[in-house]
Amino acid sequence: MSNVVDVLLSGVFAASILFLVAAGLQVVFGVLKIFNLACGSFYALGAYVGVSAVNWSLAAGLPRPLFVLALVGGGLALAFVGPIVERLLRTVYDRDEAFQLLLTFAVVLMLEDVTQLVWGTAPYSTGALYLSYGQALILGSTVPVYNLLVIGASVLIAVGLGLVLTRTRWGRIVRATADNREMAEALGVNMRRVYVQVFTLGTVLGTLGGALVIPSTTAISEMGIELIVQAFAVVVIGGLGSMRGALVGALIVGVLRAVAIATRPEVEMLLIYLIVIGVLVVRPRGLFGGAAA
Amino acid sequence: MAGPAVAQTSPRAGARAFAPGAWVLALAVLAVLVAPLVVSPYYLTKMLPFFAYGVVLLGLNLLVGYTGLLSFGHALFLGVGAYTVSVATTRLEIRSFEVILLLAALTAAIVAAPIGALCVRYVKIYFGMLTLAFGMLFYSFLIKFYAVTGGDQGLRVAQHSLLGLFEARSGERVRFLTGQFYYYAAAVLAILALVMWRIVRSPFGLCLRSIRDNPEKAEYLGVSVRRHRWYAFMLSAVYAGIGGALLGPVTGQVDPTLVYWTHSGNLVFMVLLGGFTSFFGPLLGAFVFIFLQDQIMSVVPYWRLVFGAILAAIVIFAPTGLMGLLSQRPTLPRWAVLRQAPGPEHAN
Amino acid sequence: MLRVEGVRKLYGDFCALEEVSLEIQAGEFVSIIGPNGAGKTTLINVVTGLLKPTSGTVHFKDRDIRGIGPVRLAKLGMARSFQLVTIFPELSVLEAIQVAIVSRLGRGTRLFHALAADREVRDQALEVAELFGLQDKRDARARQLPQGDKKLLDVASAFALRPECILLDEPTSGVSTAEKNTIMQIVVQASKRMGIRSIIQVEHDMDIVFGYSDRIVALHQGKVLADASPAEIQADEQVMSMVVGRPTH
């Protein structure tokens, strides 16, 4: 029993991080119709900046239990990357999506070296902070409280995103743009501004995901390109452009991977890609495809 | 080498555009032939991946430039070819490199047949995603099935012989690679380039270009879009398989990073760098990519930063690549400009 | 030659075609007219095997062609042109015509034959280009042609299939009035020279419709309102007001 809970909880933890990155991918795809390969790089960037932010702020006298604030601050501070990359992508909005994809690939290449340039090639971690909130006993299995915090934060962000997109004026504008760009433009929506805002939102979701995951692992330079293929699996399974798809897809990928690792480690990602291919073949729009962002 | 371009129109127009290009091509061939006499072994060993990637990219551009399908998982077939060399030489005791090349081509075709049949039902981003997923599926297989594939360590490439005549004797690997193997790989590239040259100028090639330009119209003219795309997919996989097989002996070791998605991305990068609207563009792209990477890395380790910037500049300012710049035809073909609404567009 | 019987096509609750029946004989030039939303496009898509009707039958040369798709339809001997010009932008005029000939001769999967050396394909393509007055532009890229020539090229490539029956979807839309008649005369002449037996066209321009058709089928709200000769249609005030009087609603 405790084993099952262990596996499930680690799966849900992975899923909550995956959801953040995938949600960033989705919101950008939904509105800009660009599959942003660089969202994995934003995640890596968030992780590195998260570590540095924690180390600085602890050295500057931040009480240890408040290190989460430094992480979140670091993730949010990276928002400035969004408009820069969006400015680059703006040059190819009217081109075939192959060029847009390749331009985001160029950003992946550049950001990979930028992280190496700034932080070096050695793994980076926040050390023992991970367990500083202690462990909780749930149904006979011990879980780091930090994991529960991240899961909670992710749920909060999911709910918040849902509310913003459905209940606010800005959300309605974003969804209208995703549904029908010409129509929204005709109604006087400032497309350029919406694009920048949406892309920045996508960026922050990625960097926040990276910042939040980092206490539980170590930052390495390949983490971005490794995560993007998982996020890719999530959005394909869930359906491109759909927020509900990101949520369900993240749960499927996160939990299945955790189960596979615990029971049959040799099938791990193999299983995920088989599901991805299955979904693409049977239902190319994914489980929730076609739904608005 | 300035562009007998993809959309070359007629034999007459071809002859006109070809004349200066033929000289450049002849010079390039001559340079490749005499290079071993004048160039240092270091640069010769860099030419070997060029030959291998050249073959791979000729095939990839049949898909990208001529059929209009962007594969983001093509390294899969390169990997199939490379692992074939390794398995053949270490497990199956096959020495003859000709047999190995055939085996690599065959294996790639067998693997590509079902994958291609599935993938060509989709176009645009869905085709790209499906190929990427298959590539990563193969990657996970290579990583996890240690007993067969050597896991992340990969496999060694053992002794082999060229034409039953030449073998690398122990301690003479570099001499063998920069000598007999150099000419051998160059010859393979030359032959396969000639074959591809014929393919793109065949009725089949015309049908591919018609599909790229307007699949719906092509269907109404009786061209079976899926079948042609499928053939193109398999042909390009065979080229990638042979190219991968040529790469095996050069590195002496094959490992899963060969099929990782970023490697597929780099293949597309090379095609775009040279110019996908030109027959020789991908070859130029491979050449520039390999030597520029080498030059940059001899100065700083951050080649990705530089290459990312180059790729961005190419995409934004010179989408027809170096060939487009050289031939002063930097405008994009229509099918690459018009943006279609995203969606799983079925191929018919 | 082409027989449509009791065809209904439903999109959900919306009935796009209702009990449509019509027959086209060899040698006929039939125009289908009707206001927007009358079901003309749906009818074309059903007749060209793209859409399966909800009920009813479609026979071409006594073969059931419901949903058989464009490729097999082309092999059977039916071709179509498009309302919005759909050409191969990067191919030359001659190449665009060659695609049809290569496909008709079953040479589309010849991998290693040089197309340039295939005299049969080249001569036939030149012949078609000449019929359509495109011989001087044979090496021009399709996208660089003026609109009228693009229309002609679209039709020419369909003719190059040497079909028995051809379906022209608004062959003169989007070109100047002066060019419309030129295009139609070329089409009629070419069809005689190439042995094309039936022409079905969908057309909005009533001068063209009355000037060239043997018979006119008027559609209205998914039903056949009238199926008669041009003279009879012109005499029928009700049809004229419902279909012709308000060509755009």
Residues 6+ apart with CB under 8 A from A277: B118, B130, B133, B134, B137
pLDDT of residue B164: 74
By DSSP bridging, strand C63-64 and strand C78-81 are unpaired
* pLDDT score of B338 more than 70: no
Q: What is the mean pLDDT of chain B?
A: 85
Distance from CA of C99 to the nearest CA of B (A): 6
Pick the CATH number of C2-244 from 3.40.50.300, 2.40.10.10, 3.30.1280.10, 3.20.20.70: 3.40.50.300
Chains C and A touching, counted as 3 or more CB pairs less than 8 Å apart: no
Q: Do the domain assignments include residue A7?
A: no
* pLDDT score of B347 more than 50: no
Q: Do the domain assignments include residue A259?
A: no
Banded pLDDT at B290 (limits 50, 70, 90):
very high
pLDDT of residue B331: 63
Judge whether A105 is closer than 8 Å to chain B, CB to CB.
Answer: yes
Q: Do the domain assignments include residue A283?
A: no
Contact between chains at B140 and A96 (C-beta distance less than 8 A): no
By DSSP bridging, strand B253-254 and strand C215-220 are unpaired
Contact between chains at A113 and B344 (C-beta distance less than 8 A): no
Contact between chains at B144 and A233 (C-beta distance less than 8 A): no
Q: Which residues of B touch C110 (CB under 8 A)?
A: 202-204
Banded pLDDT at B342 (limits 50, 70, 90):
very low
Distance from CA of B301 to the nearest CA of A (A): 9
The number of CA neighbours under 13 Å toward the Cβ of C116 is 13
Distance from CA of A208 to the nearest CA of B (A): 24
Asked whether A75 and A211 are in contact (CB, 8 A), the reply is yes
Residue B66's nearest CA partner among B284, B333, B266 is B333
From the list C74, C95, C138, the residue facing B222 with the nearest CB is C74
Distance from CA of B12 to the nearest CA of C (A): 9
Give contacts of B 273-302 with A, CB under 8 A: 301-302
Q: What is the mean pLDDT of chain C?
A: 86
In chain B, the percentage of residues whose pLDDT exceeds 70 is 88
pLDDT of residue A13: 92
Q: Which residues of B touch C47 (CB under 8 A)?
A: none
State how many domains chain A has: 1
Give contacts of A 140-199 with B, CB under 8 A: none
Distance from CA of B12 to the nearest CA of A (A): 31
- The complex's ipTM works out to 0.88
Distance from CA of B26 to the nearest CA of A (A): 33
Mutant choice from B16, B121, B217, B329 vs C, greatest count of C C-beta within 10 A: B217
Which one has a higher pLDDT value, B176 or C133?
C133
Length of chain B: 348
- Give dist(CA C145, CA C132) in Å, integer: 14
Chains A and B touching, counted as 3 or more CB pairs less than 8 Å apart: yes
Q: Do the domain assignments include residue A232?
A: no
* pLDDT score of B336 more than 80: no
- The nearest alpha carbon in chain B to A290 belongs to B343
Mean pLDDT comparison of A240-244, B241-245, C19-23, C132-136, highest-scoring range:
B241-245
**What residues pair up with C55 in beta bridges, in sequence order?**
C8
Contact between chains at C94 and B231 (C-beta distance less than 8 A): no
Q: Which residues of C touch B225 (CB under 8 A)?
A: 71
State how many domains chain B has: 1
Which one has a higher pLDDT value, C195 or B258?
B258
Q: Do the domain assignments include residue B95?
A: yes
- Residues A182, A187, A190, A195, Cα dihedral to 10°: -40
Q: Give residue ranges of B with CB < 8 Å to any C CB.
A: 6-7, 9-14, 195, 198-199, 201-207, 209-210, 212-214, 216-225, 227-228, 231, 235, 333-335, 348
Q: Do the domain assignments include residue A149?
A: yes
Banded pLDDT at B229 (limits 50, 70, 90):
very high
Beta strands in chain B (DSSP E): 155-156, 161-162, 166-167, 253-254
Tokens at B9, concatenated: 């129109």
Distance from CA of B119 to the nearest CA of A (A): 9
Q: What is the mean pLDDT of residues C8-17?
A: 83
Beta strands in B99-214 (DSSP E): 155-156, 161-162, 166-167
Banded pLDDT at B186 (limits 50, 70, 90):
very high
Judge whether B262 is closer than 8 Å to chain A, CB to CB.
Answer: yes
pLDDT of residue A79: 93
- The nearest alpha carbon in chain B to C144 belongs to B334
In chain C, the percentage of residues whose pLDDT exceeds 70 is 98
Q: Which residues of C touch B199 (CB under 8 A)?
A: 111-112
pLDDT of residue C223: 85
Each residue's pLDDT tens digit, C60-73? 988 888 888 889 99
Residuewise pLDDT in 10s, chain A (293 residues): 568 888 898 999 999 999 999 999 999 998 988 999 999 999 999 999 999 999 898 888 888 888 889 999 999 999 999 999 999 999 998 888 889 999 999 999 999 999 999 998 888 888 778 877 888 888 888 888 888 999 999 999 999 999 999 999 999 888 888 888 888 888 888 888 899 999 999 999 999 999 999 988 888 888 998 899 899 999 989 988 888 889 999 999 999 999 988 888 878 888 888 988 888 888 878 777 653 33
From the list B210, B217, B348, the residue facing C69 with the nearest CB is B348
* B/C interface, count of CB pairs below 8 Å: 141
Q: Do the domain assignments include residue B8?
A: no
**What own/partner pairs with CB < 8 Å and gap ≥ 24 does B23-27 have?**
B25/B1, B25/B280
pLDDT of residue B337: 56
Q: Do the domain assignments include residue B96?
A: yes
Q: What is the mean pLDDT of residues B164-177?
A: 77
- The nearest alpha carbon in chain B to A32 belongs to B342
Give contacts of B 104-133 with A, CB under 8 A: 118, 122, 124-126, 128-130, 132-133
In chain C, the percentage of residues whose pLDDT exceeds 90 is 21
Judge whether B332 is closer than 8 Å to chain A, CB to CB.
Answer: yes
Q: Do the domain assignments include residue A62?
A: yes
**What residues pair up with A141 in beta bridges, in sequence order?**
A138
Q: What is the mean pLDDT of residues C160-184?
A: 86
* pLDDT score of C34 more than 60: yes
pLDDT of residue B334: 62
Look up the domain containing B239 and give its range.
47-259
Look up the domain containing A138 and give its range.
19-220
Contact between chains at A112 and B304 (C-beta distance less than 8 A): yes
Banded pLDDT at B12 (limits 50, 70, 90):
very low
Q: Which residues of B touch A265 (CB under 8 A)?
A: 144
Each residue's pLDDT tens digit, B33-77? 988 888 888 889 899 999 999 999 999 999 999 999 999 999 999
